[in-house]
């Protein structure tokens, strides 16, 4: 339910995926609008398919959950509504006034059947429509590359991000399970080109991989931020490297707990407090809010309710999120309107 009063605290969210951020009833509506044949004609069965109703899931099965939502979002009309609904929903539900939704356009073109430009333009239209309705909000889109895609396909995504850099695409990211032959060093050039064109860069690392993998990523990719990266907590040298490079980690507690990369609340406490003590800047995010039945307010409450962070520390992480955003700042006005 939407809050009936204006919340006091403005929040910023930098790490969440559009595929798993649309409320099930809206996805259901989009699917019907698109004439998509769903695996079930029963709304509650559909709800179970697109949300994680068990507390835990295997890492391999986690990504299978994304397939149906990506299929439903695979048209310009559905992308426009998706982005529009997500931005408005984030403002109404959690008072998020700065956000960077991410998506992989290549997973929304029905294996090449749809035009990538039309998909990206529709997402930008959805963003503009939402920002016109909620002028308090600023936003920028992140385009995701995927570790399962070949370099040539990921290079196309980077070229599209560059093409729409002045229209509201603010950065690139790499996500997804490791595919055959994926090597971070192969992406150094693409990341350098993206930055030279005015985009910002982040990457999913230190999540399913090891701290050694993360250390390597920090050496080979030019980065402005990190997604996850929590595995650094076991290695002081890696944490020092993150601090030296002035990278903010976009952590996702419930997401990591759901696949057991973080075992339990005690483990989460150890991770977060170690990062804090070592001067690592981080912010709290949802990753896949509708799928995980969470939101940013709940994620922040998880920190304070379990004495992981104090209210003051949480405020500091929110401040770090605002500072680490890739959306260009313009006082009292949205740059894309």
* Residue closer to Zn ion (CB basis): 287 or 299: 287
Nearer Cβ to Zn ion, position 89 or 101? 101
Residues near 293 by Cβ (< 8 Å), separated by ≥ 6?
51, 52, 53
For the bound state, the minimum distance from the C-beta of residue 6 to Zn ion, rounded and expressed in Å, comes to 30
d(C-alpha 290, C-alpha 298), whole Å: 12
**d(C-alpha 139, C-alpha 329), whole Å:** 10
Q: Which two tokens stand for residue 92?
A: 């109404």
Neighbours of 67 (CB within 10 A): 12
CA 214 to chain centroid: 18
Cα(173)–Cα(145) distance, integer angstroms:
6
- Minimum separation from the CB atom of position 90 to Zn ion (A): 16
Nearer CB in complex with Zn ion: 75/288: 288
* In the complex, minimum distance from the CB of residue 194 to Zn ion, in angstroms, rounded to a whole number: 18
Query: Quick one: 80 or 287, whose CB is closer to Zn ion?
Result: 287
Q: Which of residues 287-306 bind Zn ion (CB under 5 A)?
A: 287
Report the residue number, 78 or 288, with the smaller CB distance to Zn ion: 288
Cα gap 49→69, rounded to integer Å: 10
Name 175's bridge partners. 146
CB of 59 to Zn ion, least distance (A): 13
Show the DSSP H helices in the chain as ranges: 24-33, 43-50, 59-64, 66-72, 76-94, 116-133, 151-163, 188-196, 211-220, 236-244, 253-258, 265-277, 289-292, 296-305, 311-324
Q: Which is nearer to Zn ion, 75 or 205 (CB)?
A: 205
* Minimal CB distance residue for Zn ion: 287
Residue list 260-289, contact with Zn ion (CB under 5 A): 287
Total binding residues toward Zn ion, as defined by CB under 5 A: 1
**Residue 333 Cβ vs Zn ion, minimum distance, rounded to whole Å:** 30
* Closest of 96, 165, 185 to residue 124, by C-alpha: 165
100 binds Zn ion, rule: CB under 5 A: no
Query: Judged by CB, which is closer to Zn ion: 38, or 123?
Result: 123
CB 15 to Zn ion: min, Å: 6
Taking the complex as a whole, the smallest distance from the CB of residue 172 to Zn ion amounts, in Å, to 13
- Contact set with Zn ion (CB under 5 A): 287
């Amino acid at each position: 339910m939407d809050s009936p009063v204006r919340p006091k605290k403005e929040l910023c969210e930098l790490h969440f995926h559009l595929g798993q951020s649309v409320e099930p009833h809206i996805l259901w509506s989009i699917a019907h609008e698109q004439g998509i044949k769903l695996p079930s004609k029963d709304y509650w069965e559909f709800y179970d398919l697109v949300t994680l109703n068990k507390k835990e899931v295997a890492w391999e099965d986690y990504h299978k959950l994304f397939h149906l939502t990506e299929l439903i979002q695979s048209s310009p009309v559905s992308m426009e509504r998706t982005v529009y609904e997500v931005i408005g929903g984030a403002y109404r539900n959690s008072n998020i006034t700065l956000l960077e939704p991410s998506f992989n356009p290549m997973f929304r073109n029905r294996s090449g059947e749809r035009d990538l430009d039309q998909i990206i333009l529709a997402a930008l239209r959805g963003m503009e429509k939402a920002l016109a309705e909620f002028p308090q909000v600023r936003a920028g889109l992140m385009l995701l590359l995927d570790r399962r895609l070949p370099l040539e396909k990921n290079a196309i995504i980077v070229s599209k991000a560059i093409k729409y850099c002045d229209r509201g695409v603010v950065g690139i990211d790499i996500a997804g399970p490791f595919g055959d032959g994926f090597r971070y060093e192969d992406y150094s050039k693409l990341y350098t080109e993206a930055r030279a064109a005015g985009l910002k860069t982040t990457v999913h690392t230190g999540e399913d991989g090891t701290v050694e993998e993360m250390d390597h990523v920090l050496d080979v990719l030019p980065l402005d931020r990190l997604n996850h990266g929590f595995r650094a907590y076991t290695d002081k040298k890696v944490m020092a490297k993150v601090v030296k490079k002035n990278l903010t980690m976009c952590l996702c507690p419930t997401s990591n707990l759901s696949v057991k990369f973080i075992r339990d609340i005690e483990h989460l406490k150890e991770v977060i407090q170690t990062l804090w003590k070592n001067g690592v800047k981080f912010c709290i995010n949802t990753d896949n809010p509708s799928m995980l039945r969470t939101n940013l307010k709940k994620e922040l409450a998880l920190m304070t309710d379990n004495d992981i962070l104090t209210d003051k520390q949480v405020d500091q992480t929110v401040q770090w999120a605002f500072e680490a955003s890739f959306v260009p700042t313009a006082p009292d006005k949205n740059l894309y309107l």
